[in-house]
Copies of this chain bind each other. A is one copy, B any other.
Amino acid sequence: MNSPCIAVDAMGGDYGPEVVVPGAIAAARSKNISLVLVGKEKEIASIVAQEGAEDLDIQIHPAEEVVGMDEKPSEVLRKKKNSSIQEAFVLARKGQVDGVVSAGNSGATLACGMFTVGRIKGIERPALASILPTEKNPVILIDVGANVDCKPIHLLQFGLMAEIFAKHVLDITRPRIGLLTIGEEEGKGNSLVKQTFELFKASPSNFVGNVEGRDIFKGNVDVIVCDGFVGNVCLKLMEGLALSLTNLLKKEVKKSFLAQLGFLIARRALKSFGKKIDYAEYGGAPLLGLKKIALVCHGASNSKAIKNAILMAASFIENKANFHLEDGLAKYEELVSFCKTTETSQPKSA
């Protein structure tokens, strides 16, 4: 197999090429991969030169338009047909790259991906899967923001996609799937969750039932399914809580000389702890259900996060994640059609 080739949206994220390009270069230095940096040619070339990275397998593909973090996906599709994110997916559709990494607007990334490379057969809604650290092994939380209004069948498909992904990419033999809700017992939750529970029960998956917010970090399941509204609120809440706890602790420590001394002495352990919970260690969130590998990074990603996301995408490509997804979902085709016919609820779409 050739080394993985990845298109990187060099203009994405809150900091653009200044952060994305060095991250991409770091990835290319640490692993045998080919990269295509998509965006404003001159800007990118100058950073590549600054970093002395001309020897690496890095090409630049020009795209003059940049998608802002707050632009509406529908408008991006209509008005910015040559944006860096769009061009990255065009390269993927043409088979010139195996996958796409972007730290840009996740809604626009999803829209461009759906429009340009399309969905895997049978998948109604691709979903954003976040891989989170827990007290044990990492857990996949899906969906964390691609779909804000979901039907039960969507949640079932999110779970099935994450299950296949966990099996073939994370090497978990029989991934345990949980449904995020507000009580352990069957029957707890809103109407979406209650209906979804029935679908999972009818599936051959290793469905272990309901999971509550407090269980996310215990690491007792491998996949946690929720709608993209709830998942996104949770993801940002975790981020905010970890940051606020750190701020509060720092304030407390600043008040006392002894505390400062203590923290100085314990700094190695604190650093190792910080690394364990640093999102940058986990790179990006795979967008499951598109015909090509696509990873979305946090808008505020630093170069380390970009590097790790690119390495993650490379490992997904090497593990043939999308082949396994298409193959695995084909096996679930009958189950999904059956569930569609028995569907009772009709919530609005996003």
Q: How many copies does the complex hold?
A: 2
Residues of chain B contacted by A49 (CB below 8 angstroms): none
> Does residue A60 face the partner (Cβ distance < 8 Å to B)?
no
Contacts A252-B276, A259-B265, A262-B266 supplied; 7 other A-B pairs, CB < 8 Å: A135-B244, A214-B239, A234-B234, A245-B277, A248-B273, A252-B272, A259-B266
Measured CB to CB, the residues of A under 8 A from B are 70, 72, 134-135, 145, 148-149, 180-183, 185, 187, 189-191, 193, 212-218, 226-230, 232-245, 247-249, 252-253, 255-256, 258-270, 272-273, 276-277, 345, 347-348, 350
Closest to A261 in B: B265
CB distance from A59 to the nearest CB of B (A): 34
A166 CA to B247 CA, complexed, in Å: 25
- Asked if residues B213 and A239 are in contact (CB atoms below 8 Å), the reply is yes
Question: Per a CB cutoff under 8 Å, which of B213, B249, B261 touches A234?
Answer: B213
Q: Decide yes or no: A273 and B249 within 8 Å by CB, A182-B145, A213-B236, A348-B191 being known contacts.
A: yes
Chain B min CB distance to A84 (Å):
21
Please name all residues of chain B whose beta carbon is closer than 8 Å to the beta carbon of A264 when the two chains form the complex: 262
Decide yes or no: A149 and B216 within 8 Å by CB, A135-B247, A252-B269 being known contacts: no
Q: List 29 A-B contacts (CB under 8 A).
A: A134-B244, A148-B189, A148-B190, A149-B190, A180-B233, A181-B233, A182-B228, A182-B229, A182-B233, A182-B236, A190-B350, A213-B234, A213-B238, A213-B239, A214-B240, A216-B237, A217-B241, A217-B244, A233-B234, A234-B234, A237-B238, A242-B245, A245-B277, A248-B277, A252-B276, A258-B265, A259-B270, A262-B262, A262-B266
A263 to B234, CA, bound (A): 30
Q: A227–B229 Cα gap in the complex (Å)?
A: 12
Minimum CB–CB distance from A347 to chain B (whole Å) comes to: 7
**How many angstroms between the C-alpha atoms of A1 and B35 in the bound complex?**
75
Q: Which residue of B lies closest to A348 (CB)?
A: B191
A189 CA to B232 CA, complexed, in Å: 10
A234 to B233, CA, bound (A): 8
B241 touches A238 (CB 8 A): yes
Summarize A's interface: helix, strand, loop or mixed. Answer: helix
Shortest C-beta distance, A239 to chain B (Å), equals 5
- Chain B residues lying within 8 Å of A212, measured Cβ to Cβ, are 233, 236, 240
The answer to whether A248 touches B229, judged by C-beta atoms less than 8 angstroms apart, is no
Residue of B nearest to A235 (CB): B213
- Would you give the shortest CB distance from A43 to chain B, in whole angstroms? 27
Determine if A214 and B237 form an interchain contact, defined as CB atoms under 8 angstroms apart: yes
Which chain B residues border A226 with CB–CB below 8 Å? 233
Q: How far is the CB of A272 from chain B (nearest CB, A)?
A: 5
Pick the contact of A253 from B193, B238, B258, B266 — CB < 8 Å?
B266
**Assembly CA distance A345 to B346 (angstroms):** 12
- How far, in whole Å, are A69 and B323 apart by their CA atoms in the complex? 46
* CB-contact partner of A230 in B214, B233, B240, B259, under 8 A: B233
Q: Is the CB of A213 within 8 A of B189?
A: no
Separation of A183 and B235 alpha carbons in the complex (Å): 12
Q: A185–B277 contact, CB under 8 A?
A: no
CB distance from A276 to the nearest CB of B (A): 6
Instruction: List, in ascending order, chain B residues with CB within 8 A of A213's CB.
Output: 232-240
